[in-house]
Structure 1
Amino acid sequence: MRAQEITFLKLVQGDKQFQVPLYQRTYSWGREQLQRLWEDVGELVEQHLAGETAAPHFLGSVVLAPGQIQAGGVQRWLVVDGQQRLTTLMLAFAALRDHLKETGDERGVDRVHRQILVNEFHEGADHYRLLPTQADREAFTACVQSRADAGGGDNIGAAYRFFRGALAEGHETGEERWTATVETVLKDLLSIVEITAESGDNVYRIFESINNTGVGLSQSDLLRNYVFMLLPKRGERIYQELWLPMQQSLGPKNLELLVWLDLVVRGHYKTKQSEIYREQQKRLQPLAGDEDALQREIEQLAERAGRFRRIVDPAREQSPALRAVLERLASWGGQTHYPLALHLLDLVASGRTTSEDAAQALGYVESYLVRRLICQTPTTGLNRIFMEAPKELETDRPAAEAVRRFLSGRRRRWPSDEELREAIRTKPFYWSGRPPQRSYILRRLEESYGASEPVDFAKASLSVEHVLPQRPAPAWFDLLAEETEPNQTPQELHDLLVHTLGNLTLTGDNAKLSNHPFERKQQILDSSALRMNLEISSAQRWGKAEILERADRLSERAVKLWPGPIGGVKPAGEESPGWAELRAALVAMPSGTWTTYGDVAELIGSHPVAVGAYLGANPTVIGAYRVLTAEGKISPAFRWADGDDRPPPQELLTSEGVRFDSWGRAHRSQRLTAAELATLLGKDVSQQVSHDPLPEGEDSAAAERFRSQLQEHWPDAYPGVLAALDFWRRQGGYVSYGRYEETSCFPMLDTGTSRGPHLLWPVGIYPVSGTVEVVFQYLKSRTPFDDTQQRRELLNRLNKIDGIDLPEAKLELRPSFPVSVFAQHSEGICEVLDWFVGVAALDLARRG
């Protein structure tokens, strides 16, 4: 085998084709891996635009084996390892080519297509530079050919849509040369080690050996080995007295994090965690031969380790003011604030500021994070802001003032009081951030009431409750009907209100509250120890007026709890973050789907009329034609931009796979709701914990509630559902139930090994609303259904049953079918369940 470092452009140029063998799994990169790659690309783009020398970013290796060469054909290479990287970059270039087309750069379109994506003078399969596994081939070639169905619901389509969105967002904020620089970076500044096998090598054995390697040394291991190599005389003593205690107190992960933070607070804020060893080695190299200086470096790192432990475990902090704010940030979660927090503790330790000043500074950090989450400000670049802070803070001011001034910078997007109040009234807070962060904000608001006997939140088992329920009974809609606007249904008003902060509280009684009428909820909330719940229980009714009035009261508390930026006014002419989120959502939509003006309005905290006006004024927004009326019709006001020669919207949607009836209404199964749009954007839109499966073991009381609800609401389906659940048990599964009043049901399977449980469930059954959710969203993170082909097979088998029509575009979501299908097709459902168990059993045998 031979190896050489090469750019992506040089790797793929020429009449060649990279074939992914059938024994390799389908494309599996998700949003997290794509985001990480795009951040690396973004940094190189910024360096290039700033005129800095940008070193190539190392992506990893690609192992190739020569394939057959036919006369006059292309040189074929089997991709033994590295198919995920190759496929990802090809999809990035397909998205770049289509982005260039949107911007009118026809020469750029032609250049990218010919240089990267295709073998121009070859036809058929030889035309493509990359040929994925057969399961991915159709989705991949749709992207390369720029077909209408490009960007479907599988992982290939999701990656293509991710890059379309990232390029559109960057183009809006970047300078004139931005797109051209992205092309340069992708072609010439992404470094790959090309390893080529010889003819006759056992390709599968090479693949096995590459994917069964042991655990390599961490960055901190490499640094430790290097440092102590430079300490031949004092090494053993320094290791015992300084390094080993630090290593034992922090643990491997936190030690590596500390070594990275040590670089960041020194001003090396562009250093990636994968480059810690190289950067620290470069910094320490001049000290080789000076054991005194090296000992001082390790002493400083050990001292910094002590400060870092107080950030991770605030109970160790002696200052009450600092301990309180560090505890709040620890409750908030994440590591975003670590660089700035460590820098502030360094300042306190050196006597350059006081504990109280540092605590006030970290209070501004909390405010910045909370306000951005409530206002749903995009998190892009947030980590970098905090990594830059130690170097960028003004040193001639108190630390708190310097931090507030730094975070108030225009490009750092600290929402004003005005923006905060508006977001609390309109934004779907329940989809903001992570569940612990939502609970944290509600907890802090509750604490602001200053109760004489405050709740012990550490011991209380509280969760977020919707006062106006997510699945309301008819009585709630009767109440909402009194407050609807012209042409607005009670359901549409419900959707705009239900997830806003004014409708949310904390309670330990979710199961009791459920979708009861407000009078019953009042009785339960009236006995709550939380002041905010007593306030709700004193209301006479609970509709739009009450929710907005409570939102305004909470806004005043939030403004006082979390102070805003210096100036405190939204900059004139600055676009609302909601419009950026709208554009991102439309790009994220898989081909073959549509949504409504109301769904988009619910997602971004706006109004359907405002959404329509924005899209009418900006017809070039990618995917604008996919937004239809509540009936599923093309809006009469929709117009393409002047000079746009695309076919009429209905014709274009039909070519993508959307079905229309004779009245011009799009098929309801292909509509994406606001919750589904939010899921595609990576928001946490999972059902409440009590809707999801409980631990193993069937609860008899819950089972009885499920059966009685099913019998009452869907008596025809009752025998078929119970027969399918009995069949599931005979196959080795068990049945779990939710805790809410509508007692959901989950057929569960544990295919775990000695290493731990491995839970799978194909559907969730809801006996009151009468829906059966197919949980692709969960299955895509669990073997073997993390393979797109297996989820597609599940979808296809279900769709053979009359009454089930699941769109392939929802392979990463939770589409549903009516529970009434069980009335006539229970046997067909059982056949699908039998197949599901069989696939899971084969996966268990493979995992051993």
Structure 2
Amino acid sequence: MQAKETLFVGLVQGRTQQFQVPLYQRTYSWTEKQLAQLWRDIVEQAELLEEGDSASKHFLGSVVLAPSPQNEATFPRWLVVDGQQRLTTLCLALAAIRDHIAGTQPDEAERINEDYLINKRKKGEDHFRLLPTQADRPQFAAHIHGTQAEHAAGDRIAAAYSFFRRKLVEAADPAASQDVFRIEQAITSRLTLVSVTADHGDNVHRIFESLNNTGLKLSQADLLRNYLFMRLPERGEHVYETHWLPLQESLSNDELEQLMWLQLVLDGDDRVRRQDLYAAQQKRFENEKAGEAEIEAYIRELHRRSAHFRRLIHPGEETDASVRAHLRRLEAWQAVVTYPALMLLLDRRERGEIDSAETARAMSYVESFLVRRMICRVPTNNLNRIFQSVPAQLPLDLPVADGLHQLLSAENRFWPDDDELRGKIRTAPFYQYGRWDQRKLVLQRLEESYEHPEPVDFAAAQLTIEHVMPQSPGDEWLRMLADDGADEESPEELHARLHHTLGNLTLTAVNAELSNRPFERKQDLLRGSHLEMNRRIAATGRWGAKEILARADELAERAIALWPAPLRGVGRAERSRDWNLAHQVLAALPHGTWTSYGDLAAFLGSGAQAVGNHLANTPGVVNAYRVLNADGKVSDKFRWTSQDESGEVQSRLIADGIHFTAGGAADPAQRLTSDDLALLLSGTEGGEEEEETGGGEAVRRPVENRGGETRAERFARQLAANDTPETVAAVRSVLARWEELGGWVGHGSGRVTTSAFLMLGEQGGPGYGVWPMTLYPGGGRGGTAEVVFQHLASREPFTDRALRAEFLKRLNKLEGVDIPEGKLELRPGFRLAVLEDDRNRELLCEALAWFRECWENREAL
């Protein structure tokens, strides 16, 4: 047996050979959770390459190989005893890179193919450098050949390939751009493997067990604490009592570890990862030949800085009112990424370099940087790098606040200027980006800017976000929009484009009462509001496109006054960012779905014609042919943009799982709306954030709301107010059956509209946090059952797409329920009214019983 450290390039490149996954091995099983972690490691290595760091490689794991019985001297074949998941994933990632560049750099695509994926002169199965298990071979071969293949509902090979195609499109975003060839280099030359090669007769399974035998790991803080006090034989007891014990009592172990990492960053190490904290600090002590005095000084400094850190996590401990207000808003924003900059500011203040007024001014730049980027939909995936680099890169020749302003204003930081902010407030679907509490905070700050003589106590007020023009408009709203729309834009398209924009949103405590009522009724309710922004809306004679855009312009000027601008314009990449967002969401389209030009335009905050022109003139946009007219037909103006793309569009769509009606239109059930598109990129789990629709924490105990009414009682009242007695009785019957099956019903924390979660597992116990669906009262439109496939995709055992597909199949047996397979990544729903049918209720309960059985047997599955 031989064991050596190697790289993927050293393992597979350079000669004709094949790695065979034995037939007794399990099929490919990585889910998006493992794929996402690998992608983060790849991107980190690509960033280190960009910075010139050639030492810090990432250990990926082991690969155990044994000679294949079909081995030949001129064509070595190896059995992959362990490591097939890693090798298959890396091959799929490289296939995705090859296809990503094929249209623009075909020679490089061919190089990747020949170096890593195929044996050029071999035929049949010998053509593949990696040969998966029998069940995985058709899909794997299709992706290596670059051909279309049937896509099974639970196919993880196809899902992994699609994941990497999507991530490569995201990597082209100008606000966090990654060079595709640097990503290739990170995969092939920066991920280290331990290759264990067995001889004939070696017990490879025993080797596998030894390599994978792991125990309980100590945290980074535990390791560093042990190291520190082993280096304090004389002073250890004194240092422990004086500095360490108070530090340990004031912070949790996780907070202490975070503080230790921040200390390294504040000392100028802007590349250290938190998981490498122990090794990095140990290396620093040993390089500096630190003795007891230096170790004691480090712990004393850690203790001093813990007071600053506590202000970040407990802003009430800050004595200055202005600084405290900024810290509270940043805490509400969940701006943990800003901690390096905030710690630096509090440290400089304690040292006397700046006063509290300058500290608050500097924090206003941090707040503005986050808020403007969120409003303008700049991706957040590079925020860690930006703020971690602040201590090392802060200009030394400027006052601290001015230096931070200049640093964040650099062109590659993408801090939107005033013009971009104005434009995005008018057009961007604000409601679809950022977290709910961030959106609410923006509206709260805008309300505060009116400086009402009796300001609202936002901490006590139960306010939610309200669409003035409702999300589900009635005929009166559509008639008004018909008067506002241009010839080429229908009322429905105008509504989709404007209803999520900031100009149409406000805060209210009467969301349920407002609902989708006509504007005249909303005026009466808004007129009595204590919020100045609502009184101004109520004073408007009508509420159409013109009024929404006028209010957007007014709010934009207030936003510009509230959140300082960068020192110079940084909006140069605005349009390319918008189009990259379009490319990202199209790359994320699930199999068996399509969208329309209007839906994509509403998602982007653009116009349908502009979207069509861009797609018609931009080669290489993944899934561009799956954007159709609103009626589900291919646009007369559609044309392929690359010589590599050809054929009849409808045939390609059918191969992608899209069904067509007798009239030649794509199935409308498979269409993704602008809300669906936003959900594809949101990462938001079903029902956990949208308080205004009744989401939030599902709790088992009978939590009371204001007025003594429990959440369960409020759900029953709201359900009865919006549905027929027959539907209410049917829902009660289903909830009772769920409890008979061993589940329990939790109710959401939405302050206005509540919900019912069908929960499994004891609250806080093993497996807690799994639910198949959430029931919502209708808010005037009839209640719905939301099937939370997106949530289940990250919960065992339903990370297996095949299980989610089986659940979908069982639900679709209900008459009146027809959820397409393409929505297995989303949160589709059906009307609660279908449960009035006895057979439908029985089928639903059978599906729920199956779901619970899968969950109970999750370890076996």
Specify if TM > 0.5. Answer: yes
Letter of the structure 1 residue corresponding to residue 765 of structure 2: R
How many pairs are equivalent? 836
Aligned to 1:794: 807
Letter of the structure 2 residue corresponding to residue 837 of structure 1: A
Q: Deviations over 1:666-716 (max 9, x none)?
A: 11122111112112213548563344486447846644653574439xx8x
Q: Deviations over 1:414-446 (max 9, x none)?
A: 111111111111111111211111111111111
Aligned to 2:609: 609
Stretch moving more, 687-696 or 346-355: 687-696
Aligned to 2:577: 577
Mapping of residues 510-549 of structure 1, within 5 Å: 510-549=511-550
Deviation, structure 1 residue 124: 5.4
Letter of the structure 1 residue corresponding to residue 32 of structure 2: W
Distance 2:362 2:751 in 1: 45
Aligned to 2:216: 215
Q: Deviations over 1:441-470 (max 9, x none)?
A: 111111111122212222222221212222
Letter of the structure 2 residue corresponding to residue 798 of structure 1: L
Aligned to 2:647: 647
1:299 aligns with 2:310: no
Letter of the structure 2 residue corresponding to residue 808 of structure 1: E
Tell me if the contact between 2:777 and 2:783 (Cα under 8 Å) persists in the aligned partners: yes
Change (3 A) 1:178 1:671: same
Q: 1:748 aligns with which of 758, 764, 774?
A: 758
Distance 1:243 1:390 in 2: 25
Stretch moving more, 82-91 or 145-154: 145-154
Q: Deviations over 1:697-736 (max 9, x none)?
A: 7846644653574439xx8x89977766665455445667
Aligned to 1:17: 20
Aligned to 1:61: 61
Deviation, structure 1 residue 343: 1.4
Letter of the structure 2 residue corresponding to residue 28 of structure 1: T
Distance 1:55 1:570 in 2: 36
Deviation, structure 1 residue 553: 1.4
Aligned to 1:599: 599
Tell me if the contact between 1:142 and 1:149 (Cα under 8 Å) persists in the aligned partners: yes
Aligned to 1:677: 677
Aligned to 1:337: 338
Aligned to 1:26: 29
Stretch moving more, 60-69 or 156-165: 60-69
| TM-score, normalising length: structure 2 | 0.87
Tell me if the contact between 1:762 and 1:774 (Cα under 8 Å) persists in the aligned partners: yes
Aligned to 1:76: 79
Change (3 A) 1:133 1:739: farther
Aligned to 2:798: 785
Distance 1:182 1:766 in 2: 47
Letter of the structure 2 residue corresponding to residue 761 of structure 1: P
Stretch moving more, 733-742 or 178-187: 733-742
Distance 1:746 1:196 in 2: 55
Change (3 A) 1:522 1:766: same
Stretch moving more, 755-764 or 729-738: 729-738
Aligned to 1:505: 506
Tell me if the contact between 2:686 and 2:791 (Cα under 8 Å) persists in the aligned partners: no
Stretch moving more, 804-813 or 216-225: 804-813
Change (3 A) 1:720 1:423: same
1:494 aligns with 2:504: no
Change (3 A) 1:129 1:766: farther
Distance 2:264 2:794 in 1: 34
Name the SS for the 2:825 alignment partner.
coil
Q: For the aligned residues, what is the CA RMSD? A: 3.7
Name the SS for the 1:293 alignment partner.
helix
Q: Deviations over 1:496-516 (max 9, x none)?
A: 121111111122222222222
Aligned to 1:109: 110
Name the SS for the 1:488 alignment partner.
coil
Deviation, structure 1 residue 750: 2.9
Aligned to 2:286: 285
Aligned to 1:477: 478
Q: Deviations over 1:28-67 (max 9, x none)?
A: 233xx645543443343344355x2412522442364759
Q: Which 5+ residue runs of structure 1 have no aligned equivalent?
A: none
1:809 aligns with 2:815: no
Change (3 A) 1:615 1:249: same
Name the SS for the 2:61 alignment partner.
strand
Tell me if the contact between 1:151 and 1:160 (Cα under 8 Å) persists in the aligned partners: no
Q: Deviations over 1:582-617 (max 9, x none)?
A: 111111112332111111111111111111122222
Distance 1:752 1:558 in 2: 45
Distance 1:176 1:477 in 2: 41
Name the SS for the 1:536 alignment partner.
helix
Tell me if the contact between 2:807 and 2:851 (Cα under 8 Å) persists in the aligned partners: no
Change (3 A) 1:416 1:533: same
1:760 aligns with 2:761: no
Mapping of residues 386-397 of structure 1, within 5 Å: 386-397=387-398
Distance 1:25 1:648 in 2: 33
Distance 1:402 1:744 in 2: 47
Name the SS for the 1:632 alignment partner.
coil
Distance 1:298 1:739 in 2: 42
| TM-score, normalising length: structure 1 | 0.89
Letter of the structure 1 residue corresponding to residue 842 of structure 2: C
Distance 1:289 1:827 in 2: 75
Stretch moving more, 622-631 or 288-297: 288-297
Tell me if the contact between 2:65 and 2:78 (Cα under 8 Å) persists in the aligned partners: no
1:634 aligns with 2:646: no
Aligned to 2:707: none
Aligned to 2:250: 249
Distance 1:209 1:44 in 2: 24
Letter of the structure 2 residue corresponding to residue 418 of structure 1: D
Change (3 A) 1:138 1:796: farther
Deviation, structure 1 residue 278: 1.5
Distance 1:336 1:353 in 2: 22
Name the SS for the 1:433 alignment partner.
coil
Tell me if the contact between 1:432 and 1:683 (Cα under 8 Å) persists in the aligned partners: no
Deviation, structure 1 residue 651: 2.2
Stretch moving more, 834-843 or 463-472: 834-843
Tell me if the contact between 1:675 and 1:685 (Cα under 8 Å) persists in the aligned partners: no
Tell me if the contact between 2:9 and 2:188 (Cα under 8 Å) persists in the aligned partners: yes
Change (3 A) 1:612 1:126: closer
Change (3 A) 1:661 1:542: same
Change (3 A) 1:733 1:621: same
% identical equivalent positions: 39
Distance 1:728 1:775 in 2: 16
Name the SS for the 1:193 alignment partner.
strand
Tell me if the contact between 1:619 and 1:639 (Cα under 8 Å) persists in the aligned partners: no
Tell me if the contact between 1:770 and 1:820 (Cα under 8 Å) persists in the aligned partners: yes
Name the SS for the 1:505 alignment partner.
strand
Change (3 A) 1:470 1:268: same
Tell me if the contact between 2:426 and 2:549 (Cα under 8 Å) persists in the aligned partners: yes
Name the SS for the 2:724 alignment partner.
helix
Name the SS for the 1:577 alignment partner.
helix
Aligned to 2:193: 192
Deviation, structure 1 residue 339: 0.8
Q: Deviations over 1:620-647 (max 9, x none)?
A: 3222211111111111111222634521
Deviation, structure 1 residue 217: 1.1
Change (3 A) 1:709 1:541: same
Distance 2:475 2:753 in 1: 18
Change (3 A) 1:258 1:753: closer
Mapping of residues 150-189 of structure 1, within 5 Å: 156-170=157-171, 178-189=179-190
Q: Deviations over 1:486-530 (max 9, x none)?
A: 132222221112111111112222222222222222222223222
Deviation, structure 1 residue 842: 5.0
Tell me if the contact between 2:118 and 2:129 (Cα under 8 Å) persists in the aligned partners: yes
Deviation, structure 1 residue 284: 0.9
Aligned to 1:840: 852
Stretch moving more, 40-49 or 228-237: 40-49
Change (3 A) 1:417 1:172: closer
Distance 2:338 2:445 in 1: 19
Name the SS for the 1:62 alignment partner.
strand
